[in-house]
């Protein structure tokens, strides 16, 4: 791996690590008082749910970022800017997580879910911009011995990401809970290695 992509990855890994660590700071220590501690801890369940979901999402984003840079071996100014744009979305995750935790099952739940889903919609767009730019500059940025089929699999997996997250965003107007569940399903989908779907497709018996 060239030193320029190593620096990009090292910087990005640091940002991912900080963002994922900041999530736990939103879980507050219950104040000492007359209310039973166990009851206070139970009342904080929205914070626990939001923390676990966002921890998993940032972890999945880090995995995908690593996958991209196994193929990207060089960088230029435009790639650095697109990577910073992606990291802008990553660093903002703790804020909508805190808002979601504070308003889950409350009057502002829909707005909180819209903010939460909007953040991931922005990140999905940034992932696509970063990857598609790298592919468009293949001779300059991708490895000379890059596996074209692997590149195609990633491109296909990412193709509908923004549209699916946009649908997830719109679904929040009808059902905040369903929107969050779909968001989790999308995260699980992007956690899967791109080659798994292709293997299933190839393993099907021919009907011709």
Say if residue 1's pLDDT is above 60: no
Do the domain assignments include residue 208? Answer: no
Burial of 161 (0-12, 13-18, 19+ CB in 10 A): buried
pLDDT-derived band at 87 (thresholds 50, 70, 90) equals very high
**What is the per-residue DSSP string for 182-200?**
HHHHHHHHHHS-THHHHHH
Region 139-143 average pLDDT: 82
Tokens 């009907």 correspond to what residue?
207
Residue 3 is predicted with a pLDDT of: 52
Do the domain assignments include residue 207? Answer: no
Residue 116 is predicted with a pLDDT of: 94
Residue 179 is predicted with a pLDDT of: 92
Region 84-109 average pLDDT: 92
Say if residue 201's pLDDT is above 70: no
**What ranges make up the beta strands (E) of the chain?**
none
Output 105 or 68, whichever has higher pLDDT.
68
Do the domain assignments include residue 52? Answer: yes
pLDDT-derived band at 196 (thresholds 50, 70, 90) equals low
Say if residue 97's pLDDT is above 90: yes
72 forms beta bridges with: 142
Do the domain assignments include residue 202? Answer: no
Tokens 């970022």 correspond to what residue?
65
In degrees, to the nearest 5, what angle opens at C-alpha 109 toward C-alphas 21 and 99?
25
Output 33 or 96, whichever has higher pLDDT.
96
Name which of 49-53, 86-90, 135-139 the model is least confident about.
135-139
- Is the separation of the CB atoms in 46 and 105 below 8 Å? yes
Do the domain assignments include residue 203? Answer: no
pLDDT-derived band at 187 (thresholds 50, 70, 90) equals confident
Do the domain assignments include residue 131? Answer: yes
Q: What does the alpha-carbon distance between residue 13 and residue 7 come to, in Å, rounded to a whole number?
A: 10
Mean pLDDT is highest, among 12-21, 23-32, 142-151, for 12-21
Region 68-93 average pLDDT: 94
Range of the domain at 165: 3-197
Give me the chain's average pLDDT, please. 86
* 205 secondary structure, DSSP code: P
Do the domain assignments include residue 204? Answer: no
Q: Residue 128: how many CB atoms within 10 A of its CB?
A: 18
Q: How many domains does the chain have?
A: 1
Region 23-43 average pLDDT: 83
Say if residue 208's pLDDT is above 60: no
Do the domain assignments include residue 51? Answer: yes
């Amino acid at each position: 791996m060239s030193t320029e992509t190593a620096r990009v990855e090292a910087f990005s890994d640091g940002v991912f690590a900080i963002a994922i660590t900041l999530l736990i700071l939103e879980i507050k220590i219950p104040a000492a008082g007359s209310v039973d501690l166990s009851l206070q801890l139970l009342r904080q369940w929205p914070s626990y749910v939001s923390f676990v979901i966002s921890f998993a999402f940032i972890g999945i984003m880090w995995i995908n970022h690593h996958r991209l840079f196994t193929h990207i071996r060089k960088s230029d100014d435009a790639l650095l800017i697109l990577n910073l744009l992606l990291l802008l979305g990553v660093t903002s995750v703790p804020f909508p997580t805190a808002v979601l935790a504070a308003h889950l099952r409350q009057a502002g739940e829909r707005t909180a879910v819209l903010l939460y889903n909007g953040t991931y919609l922005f990140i999905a767009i940034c992932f696509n911009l970063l990857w598609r730019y790298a592919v468009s500059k293949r001779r300059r940025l991708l490895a000379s011995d890059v596996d074209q089929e692997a590149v195609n699999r990633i491109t296909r997996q990412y193709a509908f990401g923004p549209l699916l997250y946009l649908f997830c965003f719109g679904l929040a107007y009808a059902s905040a809970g369903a929107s969050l569940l779909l968001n989790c399903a999308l995260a699980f989908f992007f956690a899967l290695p791109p080659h798994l779907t292709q293997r299933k497709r190839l393993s099907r018996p021919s009907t011709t």
